[in-house]
Homo-oligomer: A and B are copies of this chain.
């Protein structure tokens, strides 16, 4: 069984030292009370819940899974009680506006709680995670009445939410969806159709479940421009806000999945279920993007979560397990063999996991800060700047963090040798759980197309420039000899990134398929460069702390060391990606040859 210890010092480092969120909070009336001490106190409480309540349920969830009986899903032992405790602690309400009972805390704080619950028990954390997306969607697109009806309950957590997009024949291509919505006389709609892969679709943890569902109105245009968004509660809601009769929506079956067994992945049957239009007719996909963007950042956190869990557990194992002597001479001569942590290749696997975890953490809170900055922006131009940056970072974070999270999970398993393949250690569960993250909320391929096609090339490279500018500025402001080992390669990469983008952009003018042929390598390249930016910032700050004198020398030494490891052992992967991404579409698609 894997163990989890919340990395509170690392969270503090990223939030307060790297991103200096305190200064930002102090300058904002809404958050001026959110001091370092207060946020640390909140996160310490959250850490206790994660370590003591839900982490021990992680393997229980995997082994028991969810069960379906008489149309009702039962979650694994302890899940319901843990959720009750979560609600009583007020945790669902960290986020959400005060009007509906939320605390409206900054995202840099809210996502730290998300990271911890997710790392402790990803499958469990998906129940409140999806609710959060439903909340935001209703808050942004719902009518006042809809907000009043649903947001109080969702914010306090007594009800949960879902996101119903996928159908058996369509996932990435939602334009093909068939679920129908027929208007009723009372302004509501009757919705019929089958949705699959609905995470947290049904369960026994909340009084009601609020489904956010994509469907087509009669005579709607074909494709993505004929999709509308609906709220469909599991139980109809009475005029007084209480839970009423059962609606015609039911979990038809549970999927048998590779992992995340503790989360109920449901086939949901809507059989003339009563629903309510949210947002304008035929603009459902646009409204759903609110949900999807939140879900994508949530899924990016999943990459970080599995990397962190993998790192913590394989580190503990590597310090205990004895095998062979160090090639440079015995390191534990009093023992039968050296602990495997002395072997450089084992350290390579540990440091890779650590770099993907810490790099991901810096990336996530950087994005969280952008979101907070956007929320507090003085004008629409400033807001747009932050939003654009966030929009470009989202597909990179989602795909890059989940790909590297899966790699990290596998390296953690690898350190355990044959034991990693056995259930009892929890490492193989971590690999299985992490594998979904590259699929749901848009595959790596879909994120890559979004990044390179829609965000970069269709804006003529403007959004890339927005991404590069702060990094360039950082490089210009960090022109010391001591930082040259980080700044020089980073500068070179920024130039190369632009050249590669121009090259692909030019070839795409002749053949649009060039975008699809380059996109995944391009996204991964972008991810490595962005992490390099994060690690360079971390090295700069840690070097400054060491220079000014600190009682935590080991801590800051380790940060500088990890940055160097990243630059020397992981960042060079860009060299191969630069070659392959510009190798052209012809080696993938050539009308003259059928290669299969």
Contacts and interface: CB of A to CB of B under 8 A. Distances in A.
Contacts of A421: 257-259, 435-436, 439
Given A197-B418, A417-B443, A568-B580, A256 B423 contact: yes
Contact of A558 (B176, B420, B593): B593
A580 B259 CA distance: 33
Nearest to A557: B593
A547 interface: no
A479 interface: no
Nearest to A508: B327
A457 to B, nearest CB: 11
Contact of A595 (B435, B520, B565, B573): B565
Interface stretch (A33-41, A271-279, A338-346): A338-346
Interface in A135-173: 166, 169-173
Interface in A434-478: 435-436, 438-440, 443-445, 448-449, 453
A568 B579 CA distance: 8
A14 B418 CA distance: 33
Given A173-B324, A350-B596, A580-B568, A431 B439 contact: no
A584 B43 CA distance: 39
Interface string A503-523: 000000001110111011000
A502 B185 CA distance: 82
Contacts of A342: 589
A431 to B, nearest CB: 7
A258 B431 contact: yes
- Between A257, A259, A418, A520, the greatest number of chain B beta carbons within 10 A of the residue's beta carbon is seen for A418
B558 A596 contact: yes
Interface in A395-431: 406, 410, 413-414, 417-418, 420-424, 428, 431
Given A344-B517, A443-B417, A561-B590, A336 B596 contact: no
B572 A580 contact: yes
A246 interface: no
Contacts of A341: 596
A39 to B, nearest CB: 26
A344 B572 contact: no
Interface string A192-221: 000011000000000000000000000000
Copies of this chain in its oligomeric complex? 2
B516 A345 contact: yes
B569 A513 contact: no
Nearest to A347: B588
A222 to B, nearest CB: 9
B422 A257 contact: yes
Given A169-B322, A443-B414, A575-B576, A595 B424 contact: no
A594 interface: yes
Given A172-B324, A173-B337, A322-B173, A344 B513 contact: yes
Contacts of A574: 576
B589 A344 contact: yes
A414 B326 CA distance: 39
Contacts of A347: 588-589, 595
A225 interface: no
Contacts of A440: 418
Interface string A237-263: 000000000000000000111110000
A417 B258 contact: no
Contacts of A170: 323
A561 B595 CA distance: 7
A351 interface: yes
A587 interface: yes
A11 to B, nearest CB: 18
A354 interface: yes
Contacts of A166: 418
A303 B439 CA distance: 23
Contacts of A515: 327
A60 to B, nearest CB: 14
A380 to B, nearest CB: 33
Contacts of A258: 421-423, 428, 431-432
B345 A414 contact: no
A346 B171 contact: no
A359 to B, nearest CB: 14
Contact of A513 (B327, B417, B439): B327
A28 interface: no
Given A345-B516, A345-B588, A420-B439, 11 more contacts: A418-B440, A554-B594, A558-B594, A558-B596, A561-B590, A564-B587, A565-B587, A565-B595, A572-B580, A573-B576, A575-B576
26 contacts: A176-B322, A197-B418, A255-B422, A255-B423, A256-B424, A257-B421, A258-B428, A258-B431, A258-B432, A315-B596, A326-B513, A327-B516, A328-B513, A344-B513, A345-B516, A345-B520, A345-B588, A347-B588, A421-B435, A421-B439, A431-B435, A432-B432, A558-B595, A565-B587, A568-B584, A569-B580
Per CB-CB distance, the 4 closest pairs between chain A and chain B, nearest first, are: A258-B428, A344-B517, A327-B512, A572-B579
